[in-house]
Structures are given as structure tokens and as C-alpha cells.
Amino acid sequence: MRILTQTLILSRLGFAGLLQRKWSSLVLVGSVACVIGVLLSMLSVTAGMLRAYRSGGDPDLALVSSDANAAYSNGIPSNAIGTILDAPGIAKASDGHPLGDAEFQFWVPPTQAYIIGSPTLLAIGSMGLVLRPKLHIVAGRQFLPGRQELIVGVAAARAYQLHVGDPITLPGGTWPIVGVFADDGSIVESQFLGDANTVATATQISGFSSVLVRLEKPDAFDAFSHWLETNPALNVTAERQSDYSLRTVNRTSAFFTELTYFVGSLMAVGALFGIVKLMYAAVSVRVREIATLRAIGYQPFPLAASILLETVFLSFVGAVLGAGAAWLVFNGRHSAQLHEVFDLSVSGRLFLLGAAWALVLAMIGGLPPAMRAARLPVADALRAL
Amino acid sequence: MKYLPLVWSAIWRKPTEAVLIWLAVTASFTLFGFMVGLHAAYDQIVENARMDRLEVDSRFPSASPVGILLPLAARDQIAKVEGVAAVSSGAYVRGYYRDPHSSARVIAVDEHMREVQPEILPNPAQWNQLLATPMGVFISSGLAARFGLKAGDMMPIITPPGTRADGGTAWEFLVLGVVPKKLDNGRFDNDQFILGNLSYVENTWPLTQRGYAWGFRVAVSDAANANEVSLRIDRLLANSSTPTLTIPDKVNEVNAVNSGISVASKTWPVAGAGIFMILLLTANGIAQSVRERTPEFAVLKTLGYSNATLMALVFAEVAIPCLAGAILGTGLAALLTRLPTHYLPADLRDLPKPDLSFVVAASAVGCAVLLALASAVIPMRRLRHLSVTDALAGR
């Protein structure tokens, strides 16, 4: 109890002195802000991509694919779809049809040469829209099954400058864009949508890359997955849609996340040396005060703790500033990749990550100065005055 | 030079803090070197890519299980397009050598490749040798070293079933020679270059796959017309059964660098943020040092030191650790890039290797000087306006 009271009193003394040491305190805040700002700005790319992939994906959704590389393989033959939809645990529509949709993707090359990136075409079946209840048309109209026409997501329309009426060149000729749709910020917004049968006929693609299903309840997944994977007639694996999203995002962004942590660590090392230096300086300015406090009975531990607390406080202020700056500049900013368009996201999770980094930096950086203060030989320090 | 002891003792006034600042500067310049080097590597990739070479691929992914196929007959059509100097057809044999994890890919080309891209093989005799030996291949030095192959060795490549007319899965190749890697685009781990004969591959494929290429390589007579020639080729084949997508190599590389998560666009901002962070620290350090030593400077001024000399002393005091940090940091960054790639996380191996050239080192030194100047500017002003009598009186 006494230790706690002493820590509180000493911390108040330390904080009161912050104004006198305002420049070095500001430098500490600024250094941590730089580290956290850069870290979170870079991570906002991956976080945004993940948010887009997960958006609209509820725990009831699962994805069946033929191998690890689901998107382009078209490895599920058409005649296996019926068997897959017989699996237990799939929710039924009011008319008794299973809520499952066989789909595949098709890369649509840019109509004009030399434009970087173009949307992929997601070919969906009759249940595709039922499984995506948030998807709605914002301009033009829905595509009609059997007609050679497409609709485009708002994100793709914006990033690749596509409009209702634009012709899109596909193997079967040119297909007009008849509508623009939104889907609650999901990654589907960066794609074209078209009717699976019509697209398959035109592109001569046989087979599907995935089957999206809605389960009766999230718990039904294990039985569903087991049934599919042990069925000798099938060669498929099932995944929850959230796992699929995570894996897909990691495949394209893992290198960038690793680079980000590498960059963040290097900056953190720089900041760490800075924090140690600044806090050493702060302790050495207060030698007289610290020696006096020790002489009148304050214990070394509360003293060290108060200095650590001060470091943590300054570091947190820096983290909040850095994260705030990253949020202001990058959160919600549109990012157009080769085939994916999404908004960068400085999420709550990233704020927590920034706070954790700041805490670790402060604890490591504040420890040597705190120990020095605690071990200060009182008599020598007072005599030196 | 005679002031060096003065500066030196000023730096080491508080040894712990001096070392810590220097270490912080070093860490930041390691980041700076790495990032600027990475940017230079991306620039180099684009620089090296040629505008007068075109890649012709199928416009649409095909349903064929072996890949994207274009009829060989299209080669003759492309060769007649205005502005095209030479066209070569190419196909791949993809499989592995000995161990399923050591994948190998033979790029099989026809005789026109020596007109399109003669520099792949260092001398014309090698082209003659390759074209005269159906099973022959030339292999890049890096890959040869990894596979332990030399000229005269046989190199069986195991492929998936269905790639040979005889129903087998093993392709026999004869290593004719090892050549320095020439298809180099500066990226990590890109020594996978085995050059073979298309005729041999064509004659071994199942009958249904013969008569097709995976793509064409085109040499353009004038690089300035490359875009126009690309469009001409695509227009020519637009209404055929296999429309094409033709892109000059340089455009392809520019797209590759700027697409996906573009690292190239983030290198300078990150390097800048690191330097700004360190600027705060060095500026604070020197300001504090000058503030604490005001009486000392007053004495020097009394002794007749000019303002300019005092300012130079302050500048040197901050410039020395900055320069030392910049040099050591850039050195560390260079060391980092020389780490064998297997120490890197697998996903980072696809990044281009940061190019820590003389230019990068020079920009680090220049940046260190600027950093020192920016740090010292406020204390320098303070010294200019220093009142000797007040300072000596301790006011």
C-alpha cells in the first residue's frame, strides 16, 4: 500500500515536471508517433483488404473449393455440384432448394491497352444473389440470365472508370455493362458479375472454382465439411468464408505485412535508443530532486515505477498521435490494386496494436533510466551538489 | 582540423547519451538505406526492361488444362505486321528435377529467338549448337549451381501426366552449357532459366497439343513505335479464335511495379519518416548541449572565436554522429541485403533485392548533412545572438 501511495506521489511530481522538460518530452512523443504512424499506415492496406474480403461474410457462409488455389482453378466439374449441394447442414430456401451457388472467376483483360489492372468477372448462378442479401443495384438494372451482359461493382466502376453502357470484350464478343451494384464495401464490389451459364458458354470454361453455401447454423460446418471431404465421389475441401478470406488476403499481402513489420521494427529500434537517451537525460536533470526524495524516505521501487509510468504515458500520447494521423490520412482512402479495389482501414484492432507497440517500447526504453534513478547513490548525489 | 579536439570533447561530454543518439541515427539510416535501395532496385527493373521487345499472350484465359495456347500459325501473321523485326514462338516444359520441391521450367524456343533476343546466349556458336541439338539446353549459372549440373550432363525433368505423346512423364534434356543469367530482372531467386528447343517439345507433346505456342516474343525495329505495333498485333488477331494481348516488356514491368500493393510508392515516405524521427532527437540533443554549455561558448567568444567558427563547431558536433550513423547504417543495410535469401521469410524473397549502389550511399551522406544542418539551425542562431556579458554572468 505504501509503495502504491509513494508511486502515485512520485508520478505526480514527475508529471508536474514534464512542462519544464517539455522539449525532450515532445521529442519522445514525436518519435513514438513516427513509429506508430508508419506502422499503422502500412498495415491499413492489409487491414482494408481483409475488411473488404470479410464484409458481408457472415458466420453461416462456407466455401467449397477443389484445391488450395480456389479462385482460378475451375476444378469442380459441373456434375459434382449436385452432390455437393446434397451435403448435410446447408440451409434451404423457402421453395426447398439448397442455398448454394456454384461460381467461377474469369480475368477480364483491360479494354484499353496499358491500363493497370482490370476487374475480374465473378460468374454466379441463380442463388448467387440470394446468398449476398446486401447486394443491390445503384444504377442501371440487374443482368438477366441467358443474356450476354454484366453488372459492375461500385468500387471497380470508380477505379477503372467503367459506366453503364460500356462494352466489355469477352471471348464471345462484346458484353454491355447494364448496371452498377453495391455490396456493403465487400470485395465483390471490385468485380463484374455475370450469369454463370452464359459466361461459361462464351468462354468455353467448364467447371466451377467454388461453391458458396449458407449453412443452417455456424455449428453445422464440421459435419458439412466432414461429409464433403470423406465423400469418395468428390475431391473438394470446405472452408468457412472467414478462413477463406484470411487465406486469400494473406496470399497477396503476406509479403507486405512482413515488410511492414521489418520497417516498423527498424524504426522502433531507432526510437528505442531515443527513448533511453531522453529518459536518461530526464533523470540526470532531476538528480538533485531524486536524491532528496530518496533521502526523505521514498523507496527505490516506487521511484523507478514512477519513471516507467512517465515513459509509458509519453509513449501512449505518441501512439495516439501517430495512430490518429494514420487514421486521418489513410482510413477510408480508396486503394486500387491489380484486380481488387478496397478502402484502406485503420481499424480498432490496429489502434490496439499501436498501443501495444508503444507500451513495449516504453517499458524497454524506460527500464534502464528507471533503474539508474532507483540505484542512485543518495549520499554521493547530494554531496555532488 | 585544430578544432577537432574541442568538438570531440563536446561530443563525449555525456558518453551514454552520445552513443545512444549515434545508435538511433544508425538504425534510422539502416532503414533509409534499405528503403532507398529498394526504390533504386525498382527503378533498375524498369530501366533494364526493353521497350522494343513485346510479349504476345492469349487475351483470354483458355480452358485448356496445359495453359494458354496460341496457334503457331499466328507467328507468321505477326511477322508480317508493320514494324515487327522478328517473332519467336515459345512454350514451357514445367516439372521438377530430382526432387518434387526443386521445380524446373524449360523455356522452349524456336530458331527465331536468336533474332528476337540474341543476348540470351553469349555467342552465336552457342545458338548454332542449341538449334542443332534437339534435346540440348543452356542453363543459367545460378540454377546450374543449385542442381549441380555442368555441360554434358543429362537433365531429366519430371512433368505431370499427359504432357507426352508416349504417355511418359520424364523429359530428357542434355545440358550443352552454363551461361551467365541474362533473363535477369533483378529480383531475388530469379535464376530459373533453362533454354531449350521448341521443335523437340512440339514433337514430344500429345498430338492434340501440337501446333500451339504459349506465347510469342517480338522484336520491334523502332522502340518508339512499340505501343503502336502492340496495338496493330492485337487488332490483327482480335477477330481470330485466339485474340491476343501484346505488351512491351517495359510497360509490363512498369505495371508490375505499380500494381498490387505497390512497395515502390512507399519507400521514400517511409525513409523520410525515419529521418524525421531522428531529426527530432538530434535537434533536441544539440539544443540541449548548447544550452548547457552557454558559458563555455561565451568564453570562446571572449577569446576571439568568430560567430562563424562557433557555428561550425556546433554543426560539426551534430554532423559527426550523423555522418557516422549514416555510413554505418547504410553499411548495415548493405549487409542485410547480402544475407542469403533463405534467411528471409519466404514471402519477402519475391521483392527485388535492394540495390545499395554508390548513389544510394551518397544520398544517405547528403541526407546526414542536411539532417545535421536542420538540427543545428536553432542552436546556431542562439549562439549568434549570444550576449557574452550575460552568459558569463550566468544570466
- Measure CB to CB from residue A255 to each of B280, B281, B351 and give the nearest one: B351
ipTM: 0.87
> Residue A376 corresponds to which cell in the numbers above?
542512485
Q: Are residues B40 and B85 in the same domain?
A: no
| Percent composition of chain A: helix, strand, coil (DSSP 3-state, to 5) | 55, 15, 30
Contact (CB, 8 A) for B105 and B90:
no
Q: How many CB atoms lie within 10 A of CB A153?
A: 26
Tens digit of each residue's pLDDT (9 = 90 or more) over B226-237: 999 999 999 999
Work out the minimum CA distance from B335 to partner chain A, whole angstroms: 14
Q: Are residues B310 and B332 in the same domain?
A: yes
Look at residue B251 and tell me if it is in a domain: no
Q: Are residues B120 and B213 in the same domain?
A: yes
- Residue A143 binned pLDDT confidence (cut-offs 50, 70, 90): very high
Q: Are residues B198 and B76 in the same domain?
A: yes
Q: Are residues B35 and B102 in the same domain?
A: no
Look at residue B55 and tell me if it is in a domain: no
Look at residue B78 and tell me if it is in a domain: yes
Per-residue model confidence (pLDDT) at position B103: 81
Q: Average pLDDT, stretch B297-303?
A: 89
CA angle (A58 as vertex; A52, A64 as ends), nearest 5:
90
- Residue A111 binned pLDDT confidence (cut-offs 50, 70, 90): low
Range scoring the smallest mean pLDDT among A359-363, A381-385, B53-57: A381-385
- B14 neighbourhood in chain A, CB within 8 Å: 284
Q: Are residues B144 and B71 in the same domain?
A: yes
Q: Are residues B334 and B196 in the same domain?
A: no
Mutate to test the interface with B, among A255, A364, A371 (most CBs of B within 10 A): A255
- Residue A127 binned pLDDT confidence (cut-offs 50, 70, 90): very high
Residue where a domain terminates, one of B242, B270, B293: B242
Per-residue model confidence (pLDDT) at position B186: 39
pLDDT at A70 > cutoff 70:
no
How many domains is chain B built from?
2
Range scoring the smallest mean pLDDT among B108-112, B140-144, B216-220: B140-144
- Residue A67 binned pLDDT confidence (cut-offs 50, 70, 90): low
- Measure CB to CB from residue B60 to each of A26, A38, A171 and give the nearest one: A171
pLDDT at A72 > cutoff 90:
no
Contact (CB, 8 A) for B193 and B104:
no
Contact across the interface for A38 and B251, Cβ inside 8 Å: no
Contact (CB, 8 A) for A38 and B270:
yes
- For chain A, say whether B154 makes contact (Cβ under 8 Å): no
Per-residue model confidence (pLDDT) at position B20: 94
Residue where a domain terminates, one of B208, B242, B276: B242
- Measure CB to CB from residue A252 to each of B260, B273, B351 and give the nearest one: B260
Mean of per-residue pLDDT scores for chain A: 88
pLDDT at B189 > cutoff 50:
no
Q: Are residues B276 and B154 in the same domain?
A: no
Look at residue B53 and tell me if it is in a domain: no
pLDDT at A381 > cutoff 50:
yes
pLDDT at B142 > cutoff 50:
yes
Q: Of A66 and A214, which is predicted with more confidence?
A: A214
Contact across the interface for B347 and A170, Cβ inside 8 Å: no
Q: Are residues B203 and B77 in the same domain?
A: yes
**Separation of alpha carbons B296 and B274, rounded Å:** 33
Q: Are residues B34 and B66 in the same domain?
A: no
Please identify which residue in the block is written with the cell numbers 551461361. Answer: B179
Q: What is the CA radius of gyration of chain A?
A: 29
Number of cross-chain residue pairs from A and B with Cβ atoms under 8 Å apart: 141
Work out the minimum CA distance from B91 to partner chain A, whole angstroms: 21
> Residue A310 corresponds to which cell in the numbers above?
512517465
Look at residue B247 and tell me if it is in a domain: no
Per-residue DSSP letter, A290: H
* Nearest by Cα to A170 from A142, A153, A140, A147: A147
- Residue A272 binned pLDDT confidence (cut-offs 50, 70, 90): very high
Look at residue B257 and tell me if it is in a domain: no
Per-residue model confidence (pLDDT) at position B67: 55
- Residue B188 binned pLDDT confidence (cut-offs 50, 70, 90): very low
Q: Which residues between 124 and 163 in chain A have a beta carbon less than 8 angstroms from any beta carbon of chain B?
A: none
Contact (CB, 8 A) for B315 and B3:
no
* Residue ranges making up the domain that contains B346: 4-47+262-392
Contact (CB, 8 A) for B121 and B130:
yes
Look at residue B130 and tell me if it is in a domain: yes
Look at residue B156 and tell me if it is in a domain: yes
Q: Are residues B191 and B320 in the same domain?
A: no
Q: Average pLDDT, stretch B131-158?
A: 90
Q: Are residues B18 and B39 in the same domain?
A: yes
pLDDT at B185 > cutoff 50:
no
Q: Average pLDDT, stretch B141-145?
A: 85
Instruction: Give the DSSP H/E element, type plus range, for residue A160.
Output: none
- Residue B191 binned pLDDT confidence (cut-offs 50, 70, 90): low
Contact across the interface for B243 and A281, Cβ inside 8 Å: no
Mean of per-residue pLDDT scores for chain B: 86
Tens digit of each residue's pLDDT (9 = 90 or more) over B156-182: 999 877 788 888 889 999 999 988 765
- For chain B, say whether A38 makes contact (Cβ under 8 Å): yes
Q: pTM score, two decimals?
A: 0.86
Contact across the interface for A270 and B259, Cβ inside 8 Å: no
Range scoring the smallest mean pLDDT among A128-142, B7-21, B179-193: B179-193
- Measure CB to CB from residue B348 to each of A24, A259, A270 and give the nearest one: A259
Q: Of A379 and B331, which is predicted with more confidence?
A: B331
Contact (CB, 8 A) for A6 and A302:
yes
Residue where a domain terminates, one of B211, B242, B273: B242
- Residue A71 binned pLDDT confidence (cut-offs 50, 70, 90): very low
